[in-house]
């Protein structure tokens, strides 16, 4: 009872602090269903592009080429100082070639416009935090991939990836262009490894206080939570008023799964140490989770007897383990089905393309007999004209041959024009 009371107190304190960011926070399980589309919702966020909301995660892109998926908040950020937890999973079947990555946005434009910057438009106004997994081959940069970095833009500068030439620095935003604005961190998971499961996530803790933007990272796996890794600490960062959060991801020729597990936003008003505040909040959530699990313990009056107590404790332990195994099985099945669906769609697209090629070849083959027939007719007409010319040159002087030659030219021009029209029509020119 004492632990439960402590938990309730922690949750009450957390609710008081988090009230300003509750409408933008979300997390699994995603059980809300849109009454019109029949698809799952993500709170106050708009889902678009290739994004697909599942019960345990939101998949921005699957392992398919040329995908762009996104989430965009419909309500502006009303906090001057804030703490955000973003839990992501970037994973794929390839151990070496993958891309492109995902991004977290805080921008002035409420509308998401698809573009080339991790699935969103260029020349944005606000903040972009990029999780770049694509390894450029020219090695112009001085960091390893995956690479995580933050950049601000006033809406007038062009985003330049690592591989592009940096000819006009004043008109471009560059990865790592600001001191201490990025870090190399292997947040991407190779699904072919035996020690990787659907429970491998990366926690991103981003704080903004006194115009100071800080981020730390933490990798988690079943039963293991690694230490926090300090990524960047940028000073004098200006964010537009009433900015909107967004998340996006993209694939090109290289592919990956980009999943969002949860996003939690809290106010830092009156908080002196954002990281200590987060640790206290997270501890309260863990106590709440343990309290819910302890509800499986059976504490009937007869269980106080020695013989029953041992059996009931074993039963409660078995129920806890069973619930954990069932939840893991659900997530594994959901993850596998999502990957299979992406493979089916990719195969269907390839088959449709092949079918179009076959139809085009068949159409061209149908044109060939008509062209042969026209050629045969033309050859016959030329032979007749040749005979006419030969006869006319026998004794009718120069006027008759001249007239026949002129007629021959007109006929050839007409035949050529007719063939040109047929060819342009058959080739859709």
Per-residue pLDDT tens digits for 189-205: 998 888 888 888 999 99
**pLDDT at residue 167 is higher than 90:** no
Going from the C-alpha of 211 to that of each of 69, 104, 197, 358, the distances in angstroms are 30, 18, 38, 60
The pLDDT mean for the chain works out to: 80
pLDDT at 165: 54
pLDDT at 185: 93
Q: Which pLDDT band, with edges at 50, 70 and 90, does 389 fall under?
A: low
- Could you list the beta-strand ranges (E) of 56-110: 58-61, 68-73, 82-92, 101-107
Q: Greater confidence, 42 or 141?
A: 42
Per-residue pLDDT tens digits for 92-130: 998 888 889 999 999 999 999 999 999 999 999 999 999
Per-residue pLDDT tens digits for 336-386: 777 777 777 777 777 777 777 777 777 777 766 777 777 777 778 777 777
Instruction: Please state which of the ranges 68-77, 130-139, 260-269 shows the lowest mean pLDDT.
Output: 130-139
Q: Which pLDDT band, with edges at 50, 70 and 90, does 4 fall under?
A: very low
DSSP structure string for 413-428: HHHHHHHHHHHHHHTT
CA distance 260 to 60: 7
The answer to whether residues 247 and 104 touch, using CB atoms and an 8 Å cutoff, is: yes
User: Can you read off the two tokens belonging to residue 181?
Assistant: 């604005």
The torsion of the CA quartet 405, 406, 411, 412, rounded to 10 degrees, works out to 70
Q: Which pLDDT band, with edges at 50, 70 and 90, does 8 fall under?
A: very low
pLDDT at 359: 75
Q: Greater confidence, 267 or 20?
A: 267
User: Can you read off the two tokens belonging to residue 314?
Assistant: 């074993």
pLDDT at 362: 73
DSSP H helix total and E strand total for the chain: 4, 19
Q: Which pLDDT band, with edges at 50, 70 and 90, does 286 fall under?
A: confident
The answer to whether residues 199 and 189 touch, using CB atoms and an 8 Å cutoff, is: no
The fraction of the chain above a pLDDT of 90, given in percent, is: 42
The torsion of the CA quartet 40, 41, 47, 52, rounded to 10 degrees, works out to -30
Counting every residue written for the chain, the total comes to: 429
**pLDDT at residue 251 is higher than 90:** yes
Going from the C-alpha of 96 to that of each of 61, 69, 141, 142, 402, the distances in angstroms are 18, 23, 19, 19, 76
CA distance 379 to 368: 17
pLDDT at 130: 95
**pLDDT at residue 80 is higher than 80:** yes
């Amino acid at each position: 009872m004492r632990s439960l009371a402590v938990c309730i107190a922690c949750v009450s304190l957390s609710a008081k602090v988090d009230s300003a960011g509750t409408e933008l926070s979300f997390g699994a399980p995603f059980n809300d269903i849109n009454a019109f589309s029949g698809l799952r919702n993500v709170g106050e966020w708009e889902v678009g592009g290739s994004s697909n909301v599942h019960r345990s995660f939101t998949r921005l892109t699957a392992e398919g080429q040329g995908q762009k998926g996104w989430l965009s908040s419909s309500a502006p950020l009303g906090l001057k100082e804030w703490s955000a937890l973003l839990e992501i999973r970037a994973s794929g079947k390839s151990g070496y070639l993958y891309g492109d990555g995902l991004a977290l946005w805080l921008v002035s434009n409420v509308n998401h416009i698809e573009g080339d910057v991790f699935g969103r438009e260029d020349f944005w106004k606000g903040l972009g935090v990029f999780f770049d997994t694509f390894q450029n081959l020219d090695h112009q940069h001085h960091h390893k991939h995956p690479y995580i970095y933050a950049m601000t833009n006033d809406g007038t500068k062009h985003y330049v990836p690592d591989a592009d030439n940096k000819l006009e620095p004043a008109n471009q935003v560059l990865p790592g262009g600001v001191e201490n604005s990025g870090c190399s961190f292997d947040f991407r998971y190779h699904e072919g490894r035996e020690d990787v499961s659907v429970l491998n996530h990366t926690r991103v803790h981003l704080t903004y206080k006194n115009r100071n933007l800080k981020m730390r990272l933490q990798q988690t796996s079943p039963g293991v939570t690694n230490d926090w890794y300090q990524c960047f600490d940028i000073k004098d960062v200006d964010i537009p008023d009433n900015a909107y959060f967004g998340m996006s991801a993209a694939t090109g020729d290289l592919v990956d799964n980009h999943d969002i597990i949860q996003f939690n936003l809290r106010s830092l008003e009156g908080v002196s140490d954002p990281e200590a505040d987060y640790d206290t909040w997270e501890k309260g959530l863990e106590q709440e989770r343990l309290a819910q699990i302890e509800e499986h313990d059976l504490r009937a009056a007869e269980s106080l007897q020695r013989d029953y107590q041992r059996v009931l404790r074993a039963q409660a332990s078995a129920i806890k383990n069973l619930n954990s195994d069932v939840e893991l099985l659900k997530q594994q099945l959901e993850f596998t089905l999502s990957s299979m669906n992406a493979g089916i769609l990719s195969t269907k697209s390839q088959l449709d393309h092949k079918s179009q090629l076959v139809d085009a070849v068949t159409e061209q083959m149908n044109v060939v007999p008509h062209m042969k027939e026209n050629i045969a007719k033309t050859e016959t007409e030329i032979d007749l004209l040749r005979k006419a010319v030969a006869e006319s040159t026998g004794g009718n002087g120069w006027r008759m041959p001249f007239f026949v030659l002129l007629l021959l030219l007109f006929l050839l021009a007409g035949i050529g024009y007719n063939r040109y029209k047929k060819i342009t029509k058959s080739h859709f020119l």
